[in-house]
Amino acid sequence: MAILEVHHIEKHFGATRVLEDISFDLEQGQALAIIGSSGSGKTTLLRCLNFLEKPDQGTISVAGNLIFDAADPATQRESEVRKKRLHFGLVFQSFNLFPQYTALKNVTLARELLAQEQLDFKENKKKILEDIQADGRELLAKMGLSERADHYPSQLSGGQQQRVAIARALALRPDILCFDEPTSALDPELTGEVLRVIRELAEQRTTMIIVTHEMAFARDVADQVIFMDGGVIVEQGDARQVIEHPREERTRQFLSRYSEG
Amino acid sequence: MIEFFTSSTFQTVLSALNSGFLKTLQLFFITLIGALPLGLVISFGSMSRLAPFARPVHWFLRRQKRAPGRIAKALIAFRPIRLICRLVVWVIRGTPLVLQIIALFYVPGIQRWFSWPSGESGRMMAVCVAFIINYACYFSEIYRGGIQGVPKGQQEAGQVLGMTKSQIFRHITLLQMIKRIVPPISNEIITLVKDTSLARVIALQEVIWMGESFMKGNSGIAGLTWPLFFTAVYYLIFSGIVTVLLGKLEKKLDFFQ
């Protein structure tokens, strides 16, 4: 069964329709790349999955459980939305690290706050917090940032900041990790280190959705690709197939602009 | 020269000015303790999104399948808490503090609503209330700028990590807001040091009132002008200390950007 099923998502900003009848499935352990020009609705779609925007129509199911239904207000209650969000992790284009915390604290903060809701938190406080710390250090080590754990974001390069942000998203063990143009805010010489980390995650079968402008990366790392234009899915299918042999004329035009550049 | 500082006149003036300055300090600290938190409450109010008619109007329009007209739009946008808070801030910031002090001290008694305790303690109470309300309004606008100046991505990052609204405020927004507001708040606090002298308008015996009293006659001393100007020394020393402390706070928050 698909870990994520998205059906008929529609979203308006005022009178403008930014998403129209978006449907797709994602299997556990697969990586999905969403490509398309700016303003095609890619980022809005990702934000809908993370409940940062509320779709006007459609449903979202994770592992067979309906977690959002635009027609059912009961699925949209603030207290429940907060828990459902944890199915998804999101890595932002502009990192959005918390500037007043060290790299390690950025990674551990959310888990520490969640742990406070545990029933046995008071009794086992020390042990729980130590475990979270150890996990956080391990995640940073995975990102190649062991030496930077006690640095503040302003002391890190863009590529390092984005890797901390990836560790922060992974710390809550989301079912599906989403990337919103993770390298678009980086200098070209820094994109490599971030893409390498995402590639490793893909090799470890992390379920991912990646909005990206890096076509070669999408082709090599993703299993599936969705090409969006004007708020609709124009073409979807096997990543290599779609990027190397697109069926639709619009996809072909879009891709040719990239191969020229 | 030394004889002057040891003279009984100087001693009398000094102890009078000291007792006046004690009142100045009292007013200063009470105002800060009251206005800093009250300002935060007002700033939340002036950002309130509570719109009681939005839901029913939307519901009604959907049922009637009608596009919102001018009245419907006005009803949807009606946010009473925000409106009241911004109205209060406008009135308080738009009128002189002196006027507010006079009004608050005399009007309740004249209108027989209630009366302040008699004597110096009643004056102090009325003046404190006026200062707290006035400064809370100024602070609230500074807070609002500070909160709205924190990038939206910070809140969103907290949201996708499953934090509640209050956790996001306490653990993420608050310190970033404080860093932003320290310079403008410092300005207001330095102004407050000197504004305390306005309390003399209802004859609170703060330091300037004391200084002036030796021109008119106090403790058998009259016609002295230097005590009035000597009060400047108190203000300079005090505002100097406040400036240094706030500068230290600003430095302390330099560890992040």
What does the block give as tokens for A217?
A: 């990366």
Which of A96, A106, A175 best tests the B interface by mutation, with the highest count of B CBs <10 A?
A: A96
Alpha helices by DSSP H, listed for A56-176, are 78-84, 103-115, 125-142, 158-170
Contact between A168 and B161 using a beta-carbon 8 Å cutoff:
yes
Whether residue A149 lies inside any domain: the answer is no
> How many beta-carbon contacts under 8 Å exist across A and B?
60
Instruction: Residue A32: name the closest of A52, A58, A4, A51 by CA.
Output: A4
Distance CA B212, CA B220 (A): 14
Q: Which residues of B are less than 8 Å from A90 in CB distance? A: 160
Tens digit of each residue's pLDDT (9 = 90 or more) over A25-36 = 999 999 999 999
A 10 A CB-CB count for A184 gives 14
Here the contacts of A242-246 (C-beta below 8 Å, separation 24 or greater) are A243/A35, A243/A215, A243/A218, A243/A219, A244/A219
Distance CA A62, CA B21 (A): 68
Contact between A98 and B172 using a beta-carbon 8 Å cutoff:
yes
User: How crowded is the C-beta side of A195, counted as CA atoms within 13 Å?
Assistant: 22
Residue B242 has pLDDT above 80, yes or no: yes
Q: Which domain holds residue A217?
A: 4-98+174-260
Q: Which residue among B160, B163, B255 places its CB closest to the CB of A113?
A: B163
CATH value at residue A52? 3.40.50.300
> Judging by DSSP bridges, how do beta strands A232-238 and A57-62 pair with one another?
unpaired
Question: What is the percent of chain A where pLDDT is above 70?
Answer: 99
Q: Which residues of B are less than 8 Å from A97 in CB distance? A: 157
Distance CA B41, CA B133 (A): 12
- pLDDT at position B232 is 93
3-state secondary structure of B63: helix
For B196, residues 6+ apart whose C-beta sits below 8 A from its C-beta are: B24, B27, B28, B31, B131, B206
CA distance B230 to chain A (A): 45
Residue of B nearest to A89 (CA): B160
Describe the crossing of helices B70-77 and B54-64 by its angle, rounded to 10 degrees. Answer: 150
Tens digit of each residue's pLDDT (9 = 90 or more) over A194-223 = 999 999 999 999 999 999 988 989 999 999
Whether residue A93 lies inside any domain: the answer is yes
Contact between A98 and B161 using a beta-carbon 8 Å cutoff:
no
Least confident range of A48-57, A100-109, B91-100: A48-57
A 10 A CB-CB count for B6 gives 8
Mean pLDDT of chain A: 91
Q: Which residue among A89, A90, A110 places its CB closest to the CB of B163?
A: A110
User: What ipTM describes this predicted complex?
Assistant: 0.91
* Selected residue with higher pLDDT from A260 and B217: B217
Mean pLDDT in residue range B6-18: 87
* Number of structural domains in chain A: 1
Q: pLDDT-based confidence at A260, cuts 50/70/90?
A: low
Name the B residues in 146-205 with CB < 8 Å from any A CB: 151, 153-154, 156-164, 167, 171-172, 175-176, 179
Q: Which domains does chain B have, with CATH numbers?
A: 8-255 (1.10.3720.10)
3-state secondary structure of A102: coil
Contact between A100 and B154 using a beta-carbon 8 Å cutoff:
no
